[in-house]
């Protein structure tokens, strides 16, 4: 336990950080560098840079393509609640990283909703998992990786909930560990009270973070590069041209 715990707390986080940051930057750099000379926007057309930005953001924030008429509104509900909850949970966890003494006010303010999100998130996750099993067509297109990432996130959620509500690690110490890691200072495990539930949760989170650059989870970054959304028709120029003609 001692060696393993030491690895998870004092060694792995740095590996995780490097893999995550380098991996994500590499993936985005690849997309960034690929040429895209043909404007392949899909109508309803973005006629200007501005409307293209609106289009991308509405897809990022509201999942507009799923939400639209005859999109997939059940999937939208599941996916949107999941992503929003995930975001809120991440925000809530900033309390372990920010502020030397007290956390910033806004981080304190999102604690309640962040905890609510943590309680809720397993519902959309289970829905996303179930639909891959229940619907024959979705089952057919699913790969083991699709189940893996859902199960991984579920296990992160459950280990977190277990730690918070049953194992009760000493949160001051958790914050101390995180701040030490940020300051690149090794933590003497004998001076802090951490328990297995926390270590498991922390480990799973790191697995998830390291998995992201190699997986479909990168869709978060990719959507900003999608040519059918980011390109615009130059419709204004075309219309002007028509008037001249």
Partner 1 sequence: MGEQLEKIFDVELKPGAGENYVCNLTKPEFAEKMANKMPTEPLPDDQMVEVALKRLDQLRKERKSLQLYLDICVRCGACVKQCHYFLGTGDPKNTPVGRAELLRKVYRAHFTISGKLFGSLVGAQKLTPEILKNEWYKFFYQCSECRRCSVFCPYGIDQAEITMAGREVLNSVGLATKYITQVISQVYKHGNNLGIPEAAFKYNCQFLEEEIKESTGVDVKIPVDKEKAEILYLPPSADLFTNTDTMIGVAKVFHAVGADWTMSTYASEAANFGLFFSYDDIKTINLRVVEVAKKIGAKLVIFGECGHAWRAARQYMEAMNGPLPFKFMNILEYTAELIRKGKLKLDKSRNDDVIVTMHDPCNMARAGDLVEEGRFIIKSVCNNFVDMDRSVIKEKTFCCGGGGGLLTEEIMELRMKGGLPRATAVKEVVESHNVNYLAAPCAIDKAQLPLVMEHYEIPVQVGGIHDLVGKALILEGQEEFEAKKKAEEEAAKAAAAAVPSVCGLCDAEFATMDECCEHAEKEHKISKDQCDLACEPKEGAASAEAAPSVCGLCDAEFATMDECCEHAEKEHKISKDQCDLACEPKK
Retrieve residue 186's tokens: 């090794």
If the CB atoms of residues 140 and 166 are measured against partner 1, the closer one turns out to be: 140
Rounded-to-integer distance, Cα 76 and Cα 65, Å? 9
If the CB atoms of residues 3 and 136 are measured against partner 1, the closer one turns out to be: 136
> Least Å distance between CB 6 and partner 1?
27
> Least Å distance between CB 211 and partner 1?
9
Sign (positive/negative) of CA torsion 126, 127, 128, 133? positive
Which phi and psi (to 5°) does residue 234 adopt?
A: 65, 30
> Least Å distance between CB 43 and partner 1?
5
In the complex, the residues that contact partner 1 under the rule CB under 8 A are 27, 30-31, 34-45, 47, 59, 63, 65-66, 68-72, 75, 79, 131, 135-138, 140-146, 148, 214-216, 218-219, 222-223, 225-229, 233, 235, 238, 241-242, 244-245
If the CB atoms of residues 155 and 226 are measured against partner 1, the closer one turns out to be: 226
> Least Å distance between CB 12 and partner 1?
19
Which region holds residue 99: left if phi is over 0, alpha if psi is between -120 and 50, else beta? left
Q: Could you tell me the CA-to-CA distances from 29 to 32, 60, 223 in Å, in that order?
A: 5, 20, 14
CB 236 within 8 A of CB 47: yes
If the CB atoms of residues 96 and 211 are measured against partner 1, the closer one turns out to be: 211
If the CB atoms of residues 184 and 242 are measured against partner 1, the closer one turns out to be: 242
If the CB atoms of residues 14 and 148 are measured against partner 1, the closer one turns out to be: 148
> Least Å distance between CB 123 and partner 1?
17
> Least Å distance between CB 39 and partner 1?
6
Q: Could you tell me the CA-to-CA distances from 155 to 15, 33, 151, 171, 205 in Å, in that order?
A: 21, 36, 6, 20, 9
Helices and strands of the chain, counted as H and E runs: 15, 0
Rounded-to-integer distance, Cα 109 and Cα 88, Å? 11
């Amino acid at each position: 336990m001692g060696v393993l715990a030491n690895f998870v707390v004092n060694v792995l986080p740095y590996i995780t950080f490097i893999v995550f940051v380098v991996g994500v930057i590499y993936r985005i750099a690849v997309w960034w560098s690929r040429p895209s000379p043909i404007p392949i926007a899909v109508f309803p057309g973005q006629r200007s840079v501005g409307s293209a930005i609106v289009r991308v953001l509405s897809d990022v924030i509201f999942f507009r393509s799923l939400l639209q008429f005859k999109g997939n509104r059940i999937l939208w509900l599941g996916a949107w609640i999941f992503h929003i909850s995930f975001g809120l949970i991440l925000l809530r966890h900033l309390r372990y990283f920010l502020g030397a003494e007290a956390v910033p006010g806004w981080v304190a303010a999102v604690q309640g909703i962040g905890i609510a999100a943590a309680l809720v998130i397993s519902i959309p996750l289970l829905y996303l998992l179930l639909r891959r099993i229940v619907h024959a067509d979705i089952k057919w297109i699913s790969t083991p990786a699709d189940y893996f990432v859902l199960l991984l996130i579920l296990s992160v959620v459950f280990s977190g909930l277990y730690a918070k509500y049953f194992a009760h690690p000493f949160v001051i110490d958790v914050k101390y560990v995180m701040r030490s890691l940020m300051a690149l200072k090794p933590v003497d495990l004998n001076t802090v009270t951490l328990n297995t539930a926390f270590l498991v949760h922390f480990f799973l989170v790191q697995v998830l973070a390291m998995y992201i650059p190699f997986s479909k989870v990168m869709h978060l970054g990719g959507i900003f590069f999608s040519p059918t959304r980011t390109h615009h028709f130059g419709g204004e120029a075309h219309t002007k041209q028509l008037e001249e003609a």
